[in-house]
C-alpha cells in the first residue's frame, strides 16, 4: 500500500506529461505490480504475516525465510509483467478520474525553486505540462517575466507564479518548489522584532496546509492581508486566496483585500484546525490531506534504516517483529517521522479486520467446524491427488479474498488448510504458501486488495475493468503458483 501511495503521483505525472496516455492505462498495472511484488518476500504484504503468525502459533518449530516465498513469487511477477504489457493496452480504456473536472478550487500562488530542486537546469516547459496548474509568470532577480518561453531554463531561487488546484500545488513541494509567504509578513524591522519576541516562529517541519473560509462577519472583511497582520495573530501564513468566479489580480498576497466567502490556503502549525473551529472569523476550517512538508534531508537516513532492518531479518539476527519495532523507533528518534505522522500511519481498520478474522478463525477451529470442512474438502477432491486439493483450496481462498478482503480470507481458510495438510501429509510450509499467494493476488475485484481500491477513483475505473484484466491474470498466477509449490515441496 505505501508503495502505491508513493508512486501514484509519479505515475499520474507521467500521464500528464506524455501524449496519448492517461492515468487509467497506468494505475491498475501499478496496483498489480505492487501486489505481485508483495509475493516475493514474507514481509511484502500483511497477508503473508497473518499466515506466518497463525502457522507459527500452531507449530513454533516452523521457519519462514524472508525470501523463500520468492521461489513462487518471482515467476508470478515475471508472468504478470509479461501479461500486463501485452494485454492491458487492449483491455483498459482511456478514462478520466472520477474526481476530474468537478470544479475544484483554483488558487494563484507564488512558489520559490530551492537550490536543491531537481527542476533546476531543466526547461520551464516541463512545469507547464503539469495537469491542474498553469504557470503564468516568472520572477528572477527582481525582474518579472509575464510570458516565459518554454525553453527557458529554471534557476535556483526563481519565483514561479501558478494558477491551479491545491492538490497539484502540493505536488510541487515534492520537487522542492516551496510557497512564498513573505508577502504576508510585516515590514522587515517589525518582522525581526516579532521573531525576537517569538511571535513569528520559524516554519516547523510538521507544518501543513489548511483551507479556511472567511465568515461574513469576520474582522478580516475589507482589510488587506498585510493590514490585518494574519501571521502575527495566528502564527500561520496565507499562501493563496481563492475567490469564486473572480481571478484575483494582485500578485502580492499582502495587497489582497479580503471578502466574505474567500477561501484561504494557509500553512499552519499542528492544532490550527482544532483551535479555530469556533473562531468567528472563519465559517469553515479544514485540513488539506497529505500536505505535510516533505523531509527531503532525511530520505537517505530513512532508506538506510530500512536496509538495516531487512539485513538483520535476512541474517536472522533478530525476529521480524523485533527488527520492525526497532526500525520504527529509529525513524522516530532520528526525526524521519514525527509522532503525529506515526500515529496517523496506523491503519486501525486493518488491525480490527485482522483481529476479527483471527477471532473467526479461532472459533472455526475450536468448534470443530474447520476439521469438518477439511474432511469434506478432502473427500471431494481426494481423487485428484494432493495437487488437486491444493488447487481447490487456492480457488476457494481466491474467491473469498475477492469478496471480502485478503487478510480475512487467509485467516478463515488457514485453519481448514491446516487440517487438510495433516490429513494428506502435505508439508505445512507448502500449504501456507498456497494460502499466501491465493489470498494476496486478488486482481479481479477493486475491493479485494487495498491498492486496487486506491487506484479505482483516480483511474476512473469500473468494476468490470478489474474483472476483464484481473481474472485472466489471477488464473495464470494461480497455475504458476501451484506448479512451483508442486516442484519444490510435493
* DSSP states of 311-367: HHHHTTSS-HHHHHHHHHHHHHHTTSS-HHHHHHH--HHHHHHHHHHHHHHHHHHHT
How do beta strands 237-242 and 263-268 pair? antiparallel
C-alpha–C-alpha distance, residues 356 and 95, integer Å: 37
Whether residue 138 is contained in a domain is answered as no
Whether residue 51 is contained in a domain is answered as yes
Residues 87 and 17 in one domain: yes
Domain that holds residue 305: 296-335
Q: What is the pLDDT of residue 16?
A: 67
Whether residue 214 is contained in a domain is answered as yes
SS3 content of the chain, % helix, strand, coil (to 5): 55, 10, 35
Which of 215, 213, 239, 212 lies closest to 225, judged by CA? Answer: 239
C-alpha–C-alpha distance, residues 221 and 226, integer Å: 13
C-alpha–C-alpha distance, residues 221 and 14, integer Å: 42
Residues 384 and 482 in one domain: yes
Whether residue 111 is contained in a domain is answered as no
Residues 357 and 485 in one domain: yes
Which of 406, 428, 282, 271 lies closest to 350, judged by CA? Answer: 406
What CATH number should be reported for the domain holding residue 250? 3.30.70.1450
Residues 331 and 367 in one domain: no
Which of 118, 40, 52, 45 lies closest to 80, judged by CA? Answer: 40
Residues 9 and 56 in one domain: yes
Residues 351 and 485 in one domain: yes
Q: What is the pLDDT of residue 467?
A: 92
C-alpha–C-alpha distance, residues 82 and 76, integer Å: 10
Residues 302 and 407 in one domain: no
Residues 275 and 393 in one domain: no
Q: What are phi and psi of 384, to 5 degrees?
A: -85, -5
On whether the CB atoms of residues 87 and 469 are closer than 8 A, the answer is yes
Whether residue 167 is contained in a domain is answered as no
Whether residue 115 is contained in a domain is answered as no
| Residue where a domain stops, chosen among 251, 267, 287 | 287
The model's pTM is: 0.61
pLDDT block averages, 10 residues each, the chain of length 490: 71 70 86 92 86 86 87 95 93 66 65 88 76 77 81 89 74 80 43 41 60 88 87 84 66 80 84 84 80 69 86 77 85 81 70 70 74 75 80 90 83 87 87 93 86 82 90 95 92
Q: In the chain, how many domains are there?
A: 3
3-state secondary structure of 206: coil
3-state secondary structure of 243: strand
Residues 376 and 467 in one domain: yes
Q: Which helix (H) or strand (E) holds 213?
A: strand 208-214
Cell 523463500 sits on residue: 68
Residues 227 and 250 in one domain: yes
Give 254's DSSP letter. G
Residues 273 and 405 in one domain: no
Q: What are phi and psi of 227, to 5 degrees?
A: -65, -35
Q: What is the pLDDT of residue 486?
A: 92
Whether residue 227 is contained in a domain is answered as yes
On whether the CB atoms of residues 115 and 154 are closer than 8 A, the answer is no
Q: Which three cell numbers stand for residue 267?
A: 500553512
Whether residue 106 is contained in a domain is answered as no
Residues 422 and 468 in one domain: yes
Q: What is the pLDDT of residue 201?
A: 41
Q: What is the pLDDT of residue 130?
A: 65
Which contacts of 95-100 are long-range, i.e. CB under 8 A and separated by 24 or more positions? 95/22, 95/24, 95/459, 95/460, 95/461, 96/22, 96/24, 96/460, 97/23, 97/24, 97/457, 97/458, 97/459, 97/460, 98/457, 98/458, 98/460, 99/457, 99/458, 100/460
Q: Which helix (H) or strand (E) holds 441?
A: none
On whether the CB atoms of residues 51 and 123 are closer than 8 A, the answer is no
On whether the CB atoms of residues 270 and 243 are closer than 8 A, the answer is no
Q: What is the pLDDT of residue 101?
A: 47
Amino acid at each position: 500500500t505505501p508503495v502505491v501511495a508513493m508512486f501514484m503521483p509519479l505515475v499520474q505525472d507521467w500521464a500528464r506529461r506524455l501524449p496519448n496516455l492517461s492515468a487509467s492505462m497506468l494505475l491498475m498495472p501499478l496496483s498489480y505490480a505492487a501486489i505481485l511484488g508483495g509475493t516475493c518476500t514474507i514481509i511484502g504484504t500483511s497477508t503473508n504475516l497473518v499466515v506466518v503468525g497463525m502457522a507459527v502459533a500452531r507449530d513454533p518449530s516452523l521457519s519462514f525465510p524472508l525470501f523463500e516465498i520468492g521461489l513462487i513469487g518471482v515467476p508470478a511477477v515475471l508472468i504478470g509483467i509479461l501479461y500486463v504489457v501485452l494485454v492491458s493496452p487492449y483491455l483498459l480504456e482511456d478514462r478520466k478520474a472520477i474526481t476530474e473536472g468537478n470544479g475544484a478550487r483554483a488558487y494563484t500562488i507564488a512558489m520559490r525553486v530551492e537550490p536543491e530542486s531537481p527542476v533546476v537546469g531543466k526547461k520551464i516547459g516541463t512545469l507547464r505540462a503539469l495537469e491542474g496548474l498553469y504557470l503564468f509568470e516568472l520572477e528572477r532577480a527582481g525582474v518579472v517575466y509575464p510570458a516565459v518561453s518554454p525553453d527557458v531554463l529554471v534557476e535556483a531561487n526563481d519565483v514561479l507564479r501558478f494558477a491551479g488546484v491545491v492538490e497539484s500545488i502540493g505536488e510541487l513541494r515534492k520537487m522542492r518548489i516551496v510557497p512564498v509567504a513573505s508577502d504576508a509578513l510585516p515590514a522587515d524591522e517589525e518582522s525581526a522584532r516579532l521573531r525576537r519576541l517569538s511571535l513569528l516562529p520559524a516554519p516547523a517541519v510538521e507544518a501543513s496546509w489548511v483551507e479556511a473560509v472567511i465568515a461574513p462577519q469576520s474582522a478580516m472583511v475589507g482589510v488587506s492581508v498585510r493590514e490585518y497582520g494574519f501571521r502575527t495573530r495566528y502564527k500561520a501564513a496565507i499562501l493563496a486566496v481563492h475567490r469564486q468566479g473572480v481571478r484575483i489580480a494582485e500578485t502580492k498576497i499582502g495587497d489582497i483585500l479580503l471578502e466574505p466567502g474567500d477561501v484561504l490556503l494557509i500553512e499552519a502549525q499542528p492544532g490550527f484546525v482544532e483551535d479555530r473551529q469556533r473562531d468567528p472569523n472563519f465559517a469553515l476550517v479544514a485540513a488539506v490531506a497529505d500536505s505535510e512538508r516533505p523531509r527531503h534531508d532525511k530520505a537517505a537516513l530513512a532508506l538506510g534504516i530500512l536496509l538495516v532492518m531487512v539485513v538483520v531479518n535476512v541474517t536472522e539476527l533478530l525476529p521480524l517483529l523485533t527488527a520492525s519495532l526497532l526500525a520504527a523507533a529509529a525513524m522516530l528518534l532520528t526525526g524521519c517521522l514525527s509522532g503525529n505522522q506515526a500515529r496517523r500511519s496506523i491503519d486501525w481498520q486493518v488491525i480490527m479486520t485482522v483481529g476479527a478474522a483471527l477471532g473467526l478463525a479461532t472459533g472455526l477451529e475450536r468448534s470443530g467446524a474447520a476439521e469438518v470442512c477439511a474432511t469434506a474438502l478432502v473427500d471431494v477432491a481426494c481423487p485428484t491427488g494432493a495437487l488437486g486439493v491444493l488447487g481447490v483450496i487456492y480457488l476457494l481462498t481466491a474467491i473469498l479474498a475477492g469478496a471480502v478482503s485478503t487478510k480475512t480470507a487467509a485467516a478463515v481458510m488457514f485453519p481448514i488448510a491446516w487440517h487438510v495438510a495433516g490429513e494428506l501429509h502435505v508439508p505445512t510450509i507448502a500449504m501456507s504458501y498456497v494460502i499466501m499467494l491465493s489470498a494476496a493476488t486478488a486482481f479481479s475485484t477493486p475491493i479485494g486488495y487495498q491498492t486496487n481500491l486506491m487506484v479505482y477513483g483516480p483511474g476512473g475505473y469500473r468494476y468490470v475493468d478489474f474483472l476483464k484484466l484481473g481474472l485472466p491474470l489471477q488464473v495464470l498466477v494461480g497455475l504458476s503458483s501451484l506448479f512451483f509449490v508442486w516442484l519444490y515441496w510435493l
